[in-house]
Amino acid sequence: MRGMSTANRILVADDDRAIRESLERALELEGYEVRTVGDGVQALAVVHKDPVDLLVLDVMMPGVDGLGVSRVLRAEGDRTPILMLTARVETPDRVAGLDAGADDYLPKPFELDELLARLRALLRRAAPVAEGQAGQLLHVGDLRLDPEARRVWRGEREVELSKTEFDLLELLVRNAGIVLDHSTIYDRIWGYDFGPESKNLAVYISYLRRKLEPAGTPPLIQTIRGVGYTIRPQ
């Protein structure tokens, strides 16, 4: 990852030319260095030749789609942050993007301010941990979290999390037993409150539960209806 003294490089892959061009203009005005391509094959070629700091991938593209690009990069060990753009708004479709290794998703049509907020959050969380800021192992029940190595275990089983999933879990663990409201979580993780109609947080909570609380495992993450979430062992 490059230092913040130089412009972060973003690759936008979308088969809609109007979206590519509008995002390129908007992101360049924000100070980013932008490359655009129209399909997943070109996206992989660009990343393999000249790595970028963040990828914005459309799910539906000819040839190799956004999910395919994400799967290939993650299989290669490439952890570059990925924001997935999708016209599919149902939870299973969003979860498919997370399963493919994406760090965040944004349904179309979207507001530019929201996209920019998510890009900033992903880039901020992908920055190297400053020396002296790394913490010791965090524990809640049989859950262990290593902030420096960004690794998580439930009992003896290691759990693979995306950047956003890990950051959300770390926030809950560092505030174990404290109920965090939706606005606080959105502000701390995404740097932007997406409003009461957003399902973004609920999707990530459900996905964390799927990974951390398989059948027969005591639940950790608790929903406080009308307020927010907390984590505590049962």
Q: Which residues contact 54 (CB under 8 A, 6 or more apart)?
A: 8, 9, 10, 11, 80, 81, 82, 83, 119, 122, 123, 126
Q: Is the same domain home to 100 and 184?
A: no
Q: How far apart are CA 138 and CA 144, in angstroms?
A: 6
Q: Is the same domain home to 143 and 100?
A: no
Q: Is the same domain home to 13 and 100?
A: yes
Pick the closest to residue 50 from 60, 62, 37, 63 (CA basis). 37
Q: Which of 63, 91, 126 is the last residue before a domain boundary?
A: 126
- Domain contains 110: yes
Lowest-confidence region among 120-129, 149-158, 225-234 = 120-129
pLDDT, residue 84, reads 92
Q: Is the same domain home to 157 and 195?
A: yes
pLDDT, residue 216, reads 77
The residues facing 105 across adjacent strands are 84
Q: Is the same domain home to 154 and 47?
A: no
Number of structural domains (the chain) is: 2
Helices (H), the chain: 17-29, 40-49, 66-75, 91-99, 112-126, 163-174, 182-189, 200-212
pLDDT, residue 215, reads 77
CATH label of the domain that carries residue 40: 3.40.50.2300
pTM over 0.75: no
- Which strands, in side-by-side order, build the sheet including 104-107? 33-37, 9-13, 54-58, 82-86, 104-107
pLDDT, residue 129, reads 52
CB 10 within 8 A of CB 53: yes
Res. 132: pLDDT tops 60 = no
Res. 170: pLDDT tops 90 = yes
Within 10 A of 1 (CB to CB), how many other CB atoms are there?
14
Q: Is the same domain home to 101 and 197?
A: no
- Domain contains 180: yes
Q: Is the same domain home to 70 and 160?
A: no
Q: What are phi and psi of 212, to 5 degrees?
A: -95, -20
Q: Which of 69, 103, 126 is the last residue before a domain boundary?
A: 126
What pLDDT, in 10s, does the model give residues 68-123? 999 999 999 898 999 999 887 666 666 677 778 888 888 888 889 989 988 998 88
Pick the closest to residue 164 from 127, 123, 122, 200 (CA basis). 122
Q: Is the same domain home to 118 and 13?
A: yes
Q: Is the same domain home to 20 and 122?
A: yes
| Average pLDDT over every residue of 183-198 | 78
Res. 5: pLDDT tops 70 = no
Mean pLDDT for the chain overall = 86
CATH label of the domain that carries residue 225: 1.10.10.10
Pick the closest to residue 189 from 140, 100, 122, 109 (CA basis). 122
Q: Which of 126, 159, 175 is the last residue before a domain boundary?
A: 126
Q: Is the same domain home to 146 and 216?
A: yes
- Domain contains 73: yes
pLDDT, residue 106, reads 87
- For 223, the domain range is 138-231
